[in-house]
Amino acid sequence: MADLTGSTALVTGGARGIGRAVVEAFAGAGASVMAADVLPRPADLPDGVGYTHLDVTSEDDWAAALAATEAAFGPVGVLVNNAGILEVGPIDQQPPKSFRHVLDVNLTGAWLGMHVLAPSLRAAGGGVVVNISSTAGLIGYPNLGAYTASKWGLRGLTKVAAMEFAADGIRVCSVHPGPIRTPMTADFDDDMTASQPIARFGEPAEVAAMVLFIAAEATYSTGSEFVVDGGALAGSPLTASLR
Ligand code: NAP
């Protein structure tokens, strides 16, 4: 069983959805966990889990969140850059402000996390960074130009970080979920998953299980991409009707 006893973890976007499931999985594996989010602290967080305000686009917020985490639990050994937003719009219609905002949260936010927390990860004696990208970091999706660009960027940044931090014993991996049932996808139609080999939305806990595996057990993986998508990227159903 995955064991994070003795580790301190900071999880962004930890109030709900996938981040919340990661918080619960890590706490269940014995980690000291700080959940960080722009939302108020949820009333039903597990006992012992810390909570701090963090807007991932703010360098000052990152410094404050790190200070709060270190004061409560010591140096951060596991960082999960999970906070993200989705804004829909075709290239010729999405306002530039919206495009920039998505990049700021989904990509710059994760870069800031690694930038600010690197000394803490080193002080922890090495560690793990898990960047939550998307299948949108592996293929393109129409009307999701900003989101897709941000998630491809995060996938590339993961590989650079894996090489830069390797000498410090810090692994950096990306996770690529397909459609997962969270508040972000609350309006998405169930039919969207009909052509997938596993024809349903995934659950946040199914992504959290992968994140826990990477953090606790994937000791020979860095710069690596872990897909949790119900087989959506296994291939195209183009020829399925041929006999
Ligand atoms: P979610 O339900 O919307 O939860 C995301 C959390 O992050 C929310 O609490 C959100 O607060 C918070 N957040 C937003 N902007 C933030 C900021 N600037 N600083 C800190 N926290 C912020 O989303 P989710 O579905 O769990 O997604 C989590 C991650 O998985 C995202 O990176 C997303 O792109 C990725 N992902 C999700 C899916 C999916 O199908 N759900 C698929 C692939 C990848 P607000 O309420 O204020 O927005």
147 is catalytic: yes
Q: CB of 134 closer than 6 A to ligand 1?
A: yes
19 lines ligand 1 (CB under 6 A): yes
State the pLDDT at residue 1: 85
DSSP-based helix, strand, coil % in the chain, nearest 5 = 45, 15, 40
From the CB of 85, is ligand 1 less than 6 Å away? Answer: yes
Could you tell me if the CB of 37 is within 6 A of ligand 1?
Answer: yes
Q: How far is the CA of 182 from the centre of ligand 1 (A)?
A: 9
Judge contact between 189 and 179, C-beta under 8 A: no
The model's pTM is 0.98
Q: What pLDDT is attached to residue 23?
A: 98
Measure 37 CA to ligand 1 centroid, in angstroms: 9
Domain extents in the chain:
8-230
Instruction: Give 40's DSSP letter.
Output: P
Pocket of ligand 1 contains residue 224 by CB under 6 Å: no
Instruction: Determine the atom of ligand 1 nearest the C-alpha atom of 13.
Output: 7
**C-beta 107 within 6 A of ligand 1:** no
Mean per-residue pLDDT of the chain: 98
Extract the residue ranges of the chain whose pLDDT is less than 70.
none
**C-alpha 151 – ligand 1 centre gap (Å):** 13
Query: In angstroms, rounded to a whole number, what is the distance separating the alpha carbons of residues 13 and 128?
Result: 17
Residues 6+ apart with CB under 8 A from 151: 106, 133, 134, 136, 137, 176
Distance from the alpha carbon of residue 17 to the mean position of ligand 1, in angstroms: 7
Q: How far is the CA of 240 from the centre of ligand 1 (A)?
A: 34
* CB 16 less than 6 A from any atom of ligand 1: yes
Atom of ligand 1 nearest to the CA of 86: 34
In the sheet that holds 32-37, the strands lie side by side as 50-53, 32-37, 8-12, 78-81, 127-132, 170-177, 225-228
Identify the sign of the CA torsion 184, 55, 217, 148: positive
Site to substitute for ligand 1 among 10, 20, 38, most atoms within 8 A of C-beta: 38
Question: Which residue's CA is the nearest one to ligand 1's atom 12?
Answer: 13
pLDDT of residue 93: 98
| Stated length of the chain | 243
Q: What is 8-230's CATH number?
A: 3.40.50.720
